């Protein structure tokens, strides 16, 4: 199950409730050490050197507990208490260029600004440019506010214990936290706190999507209609259609502009391709509609604005709107119990709200809720680092997969197509929120799988990898 995002006070209460059951701090530390060792081993190879920087608190204990569980690695542990006198030995260790540094200097209990000695110490670590795995929170970062307390470790990845702390999700914290992972199974009791913001875990999708009926046929799994592609942007339509195929709806029909019909149709086989005209009617068997990928040619605004608004306002089917079509939507009510989904990136979200991308990024959950409320309580997939999924009411989920290499043209078209392909299937319309979370997580997990094997993958590779994680 997903875990709530917590603050420092809630984390302390969670720990206290755990100790009251008889669980020991020593056992939790041992388990956390195992999780650190597991992640560090995935990020290194046998024979590599790992440098552990262990402070006086429990974070240092967690880091030290990893040492005995780091097999086939050369591990050097430095106990750090007085930065001025400990700095020379750390500088010497850094000159040997370890493959990875494990940061166990300070935990979430740090509340006062660091003195000059610690600032100089942390600066030396950061300037080495050696990848750092931070334990629980990057040392020096306030886990509630996401602000550095004078200085903070710039980690490549952070393994936080139990659940993410709220400050780690702030834009100000991202350069220090790096990739955030959660060590959720470390002996703590189930989190006694609940909140609006929740962190997605891989295990959330066990057994999902459900197994197909043995006698199922293509009519059982829906018919997706995609309205996409215009002159100069026909590739977006192709990417969206191919991604939708990986969701395996029964049928897909792509409606595109006449000017790009031929290059689009030549690249697709199982997808039916038709020309979109003003009088076009969708197939009677249509079970979901995607509008937007590649409708960026200047003439599209006039040609597609009215049909987009009409489908959003009146259709009883799930309607997913992406890319250029987002700005054509108007605030109005939609039919009760219908599915409406939009997939803006921060810039598009800012357009919808009449604000700036910086304002959206400063409070992403607030932006998501405001957009959803304006557009009839629709589902919003607010893309970007730690993509959010939610509505103006109810829980908001933070995606845990993906990496910066998703920042390529066409990546959003792939996500929109995959989402639409899933929502075309009636069984996956029963829990729209979970289906959206699954799509977003799979999209990010595909990028992670590609990045693990080569650095120069492209969006066409992403389509091929889509849906394999699990």
Q: Is residue 207 part of a domain?
A: no
The candidate with the shortest Cα–Cα distance to 185, out of 30, 70, 16, is 30
In a domain, 470, yes or no: no
Residue with tokens 């989904």: 341
Q: Count structural domains, the chain.
A: 2
The model's pLDDT over 49-99, given as tens digits with 9 standing for 90+, comes to: 999 999 999 999 999 999 989 999 999 999 999 999 999 999 999 999 999
Residue 210 lies in a domain: no
Q: Do the domain assignments include residue 205?
A: no
> 333: pLDDT confidence band, cut at 50, 70 and 90?
confident
CA-CA-CA-CA torsion sign (37, 114, 6, 178):
negative
155, 177, 193: which is the final residue of a domain? 193
Question: Is residue 382 helix, strand or coil?
Answer: strand
302 with 441, same domain?
yes
- 94 — phi, psi (to 5°)? -65, -35
Cα 449 from Cα 461, distance rounded (Å)? 11
Co-location of 273 and 172 in the same domain: no
Question: What does the mean pLDDT of the chain come to?
Answer: 96
The confidence score (pLDDT) of residue 194 equals 93
Chain centroid to CA 394: how far? Answer: 19
Q: Say whether 5 sits in a helix, a strand or coil.
A: coil
Give the rounded percent of residues in the chain with a pLDDT score beyond 90.
96
* Domain range for 231: 218-465
265 and 167 together in one domain:
no
Q: What are phi and psi of 370, to 5 degrees?
A: -65, -40
470 has a pLDDT exceeding 80: no
194-221 pLDDT, tens digit per residue, is 999 999 998 999 999 999 999 999 999 9
Identify which of 364, 311, 338, 346 has the alpha carbon closest to the alpha carbon of residue 432.
Answer: 338
Q: What would the pLDDT profile of 229-253 be if each residue is shown by its tens digit?
A: 999 999 999 999 999 999 999 999 9
Supply the pLDDT for residue 171: 96
The CA-CA-CA angle for residues 370, 366, 166, to 5°, reads 160
Tell me the CATH number at 313. 3.40.1190.20
Q: Are residues 138 and 188 in the same domain?
A: yes
Span 25-39, average pLDDT: 97
Q: What angle do CA 394, 198, 150 make, to 5 degrees?
A: 125
Residue 228 shares a structural domain with residue 131 = no
Burial class (CB in 10 A: 0-12, 13-18, 19+), 172: middle
CA-CA distance, 385 to 10, in Å (whole number)? 25
Query: For residue 139, what pLDDT is reported?
Result: 98
How many angstroms separate the most distant Cα atoms in the chain? 78
Per-residue pLDDT, 289 = 98
pLDDT in tens, 365-417: 999 999 999 999 999 999 999 999 999 999 999 999 999 999 999 999 999 99
**346/273 same-domain check:** yes
| Sign of the torsion angle spanned by Cα atoms 291, 295, 298, 300 | negative
270/373 same-domain check: yes
Q: pLDDT tens for residues 107-122? A: 999 989 999 999 999 9
Residues 251 and 368 in one domain: yes
193, 226, 261 - which closes a domain: 193
Residues 230 and 175 in one domain: no
Q: What are the structure tokens assigned to 92, written together?
A: 């010497």
Q: What is the pLDDT of residue 278?
A: 87
Residue 388 lies inside a defined structural domain of this protein:
yes
What pLDDT is attached to residue 459? 98
Q: Check pLDDT > 90 for residue 254.
A: yes
How far is it, in rounded angstroms, from Cα 461 to Cα 277? 32
**Same domain assignment for residues 291 and 178:** no
Do 320 and 356 lie in one domain? The reply is yes
Say if residue 1's pLDDT is above 90: no
The 10s digit of each residue's pLDDT in 270-304 is 999 999 998 999 999 999 999 999 999 999 988 99
Q: Decide if 212 is inside a domain.
A: no
Nearest CA among 204, 136, 169, 161 for reference residue 387 = 169
pLDDT per position as a tens digit, 151-184: 999 999 999 999 999 999 999 999 999 999 999 9
Q: Is the confidence at residue 21, as pLDDT, over 80?
A: yes
Contacts 24+ apart (CB under 8 A), 380-383: 380/341, 380/342, 380/344, 381/341, 381/342, 381/343, 381/344, 381/415, 381/419, 381/436, 381/440, 382/344, 382/345, 382/346, 382/349, 383/343, 383/344, 383/345, 383/346, 383/412, 383/415
User: Looking at residue 175, which CATH number applies to its domain?
Assistant: 3.40.50.10260
Q: Which pLDDT belongs to residue 306?
A: 94
**246 shares a domain with 164:** no
In-domain check, residue 99: yes
In a domain, 213, yes or no: no
pLDDT value, residue 61: 96
């Amino acid at each position: 199950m997903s875990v709530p995002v917590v603050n420092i006070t809630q984390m302390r209460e969670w720990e206290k409730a755990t100790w009251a059951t008889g669980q020991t701090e020593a056992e939790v530390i041992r388990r956390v050490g195992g999780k650190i060792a597991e992640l560090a081993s995935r990020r290194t190879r046998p024979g590599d050197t790992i440098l552990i920087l262990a402070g006086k608190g429990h974070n240092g204990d967690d880091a030290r507990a990893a040492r005995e569980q780091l097999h086939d690695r050369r591990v050097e542990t430095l106990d750090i208490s007085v930065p001025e006198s400990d700095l020379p030995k750390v500088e010497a260790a850094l000159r040997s260029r370890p493959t990875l540094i494990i940061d166990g200097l300070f935990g979430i209990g740090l509340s006062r600004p660091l003195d000059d000695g610690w600032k100089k110490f942390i600066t030396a670590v950061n300037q080495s440019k050696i990848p750092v795995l931070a334990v629980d929170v990057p040392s020096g970062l306030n886990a509630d506010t996401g602000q550095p307390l004078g200085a903070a470790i710039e980690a490549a990845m952070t393994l936080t214990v139990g659940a993410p702390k709220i400050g780690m999700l702030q834009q100000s914290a991202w350069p220090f936290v790096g990739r955030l992972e959660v060590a959720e199974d470390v002996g703590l009791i189930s989190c006694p706190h609940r909140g609006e913001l929740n962190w997605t875990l891989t295990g959330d999708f066990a057994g999902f999507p459900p197994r197909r009926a043995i006698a199922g046929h293509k009519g059982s799994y829906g018919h997706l209609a995609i309205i996409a592609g215009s002159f100069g942007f026909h590739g977006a339509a192709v990417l969206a259609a191919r991604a939708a195929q990986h969701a395996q709806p029964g049928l897909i029909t792509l409606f595109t502009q006449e000017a790009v019909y031929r290059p689009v149709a030549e690249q697709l086989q199982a997808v039916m391709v038709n020309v979109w005209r003003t009088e076009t009617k969708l197939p009677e068997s249509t079970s979901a509609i995607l509008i937007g990928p590649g409708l960026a040619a200047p003439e599209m605004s006039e040609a597609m604005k009215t049909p987009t608004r009409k489908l959003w306002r009146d259709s009883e089917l799930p309607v997913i709107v992406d890319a250029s079509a987002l700005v054509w939507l108007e605030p109005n009510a939609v039919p009760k119990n219908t599915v409406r989904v939009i997939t803006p990136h921060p810039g598009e979200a800012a357009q919808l709200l009449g604000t700036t991308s910086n304002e959206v990024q400063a409070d992403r959950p607030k932006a998501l809720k405001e957009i959803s409320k304006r557009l009839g309580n629709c589902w919003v997939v607010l893309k970007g680092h730690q993509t959010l999924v939610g509505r103006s009411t109810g829980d908001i989920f933070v995606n845990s997969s993906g990496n910066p290499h998703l920042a390529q043209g066409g990546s959003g078209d792939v996500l929109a197509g995959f989402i639409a392909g899933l929502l075309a299937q009636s069984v996956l319309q029963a829990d729209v929120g979970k289906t959206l979370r699954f799509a977003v997580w799979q999209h990010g997990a595909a990028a992670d799988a590609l990045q693990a094997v080569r650095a120069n993958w492209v969006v066409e590779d992403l389509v091929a990898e889509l849906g394999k994680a699990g």
